[in-house]
A and B are shown apart, each in its own frame.
Chain A
Amino acid sequence: MGGLLEWKVRVPDKPMKDRLYFDGLKANVIDTGLCSRCLTCACICPVDGIRVVDDKVDFPDREERCRDCGACIRVCPRFDYRPKYGMGDYLEFTAARSKRFSGQDGGMVTEIMISAIEMGMIDRGLFVGRDERWRPQVFHLHDSSQLEVGTLSGTKYTFATVLKELKKAVLLTRNGVGVVGTPCIVSGVRKLQMEFPLFRDRVRLVIGLFCTENFHYDELMRFLEKKGIKPEMLIKTDITKGRFIATMVDGEVKFKVKELEEILPSGCSVCTDFTAVESDVSVGSVGSEPGFSTVVVRGKSAEEVIAYIREKGYAEFGEGDPGQLDFLIDYKVGRFYVKTKDDKD
Chain B
Amino acid sequence: MRKVVAPDYTVFEHVKRHAEAVKTAIREAIIPESVTCSYPKERRKMPASFRGYLIFDPDRCISCFGCAFICPANAIRMKEAEDGRYYPTIDYGKCIFCHFCLDSCPEGALKPTKIHDVAYRDLDRMLTLTEEMIEPPEIIREDKRYVEYVIDGRDLHLRRVDGEDELLVDLPPPSKVERIVSCIDPESCTGCRICEEVCEHGVIRSSVEEDGVRMVIDSERCTGCGLCVKECSMRVLRLVRR
Contact = CB atoms under 8 A, between A and B. Distances in A.
A and B found bound together: yes
A2 to B, nearest CB: 5
A1 interface: yes
Nearest 8 A/B pairs, CB to CB: A46-B233, A7-B186, A9-B191, A46-B192, A198-B188, A71-B190, A69-B192, A5-B217
A5 B212 contact: no
B213 A196 contact: no
Interface in A159-217: 171, 196-199
Contacts of A171: 234-235
A9 B215 contact: yes
B185 A69 contact: no
Contacts of A69: 190-193, 213
Given A171-B234, A197-B187, 16 more contacts: A1-B219, A3-B220, A6-B217, A7-B183, A8-B209, A8-B214, A10-B212, A11-B213, A46-B190, A67-B194, A69-B191, A69-B213, A70-B191, A171-B235, A197-B185, A199-B188
B26 interface: no
A44 interface: yes
Contacts of A11: 191, 211-213
Nearest to B219: A2
A30 to B, nearest CB: 20
Interface in B219-236: 219-220, 233-236
> What secondary structure prevails in chain B residues at the interface with A?
mixed
A6 B214 contact: yes
B156 interface: no
A53 interface: no
B242 interface: yes
B234 A67 contact: no
Contacts of B187: 7, 196-197
12 contacts: A1-B180, A1-B182, A7-B187, A7-B189, A8-B212, A9-B186, A11-B213, A44-B190, A47-B233, A69-B213, A171-B235, A198-B236
Interface of A: 1-11, 44-47, 67, 69-71, 171, 196-199
A25 to B, nearest CB: 14
Contacts of A3: 219-220
B15 interface: no
B240 interface: yes
Nearest to A67: B192
Interface residues of B, number: 31
Contact of A198 (B211, B220, B234, B241): B234
Contacts of B242: 1-2
Interface of B: 180, 182-183, 185-194, 209, 211-220, 233-236, 240-242
Contacts of A197: 185, 187-188
Contact of B216 (A6, A47, A71, A196): A6
Contacts of A198: 185, 188, 234, 236
Contacts of B241: 1
A47 B192 contact: yes
Interface centre among B182, B185, B187, B193 (most CB of A within 10 A): B187
A5 B183 contact: yes
Contacts of A44: 190
A199 B236 CA distance: 12
B188 A4 contact: no
B180 A2 contact: yes
B228 to A, nearest CB: 12
B188 to A, nearest CB: 4
A41 to B, nearest CB: 11
A171 B219 CA distance: 25
A24 to B, nearest CB: 15
Contacts of A5: 182-183, 216-217, 219
Contacts of B220: 2-3
A197 B236 CA distance: 11
B79 to A, nearest CB: 23
A71 B190 CA distance: 6
Nearest to B215: A7
A69 B212 CA distance: 9
A6 B215 contact: yes
B182 A196 contact: no
Contacts of A1: 180, 182, 219, 240-242
Contact of A8 (B185, B213, B233, B236): B213
Contacts of A45: 233
Contacts of B186: 7, 9
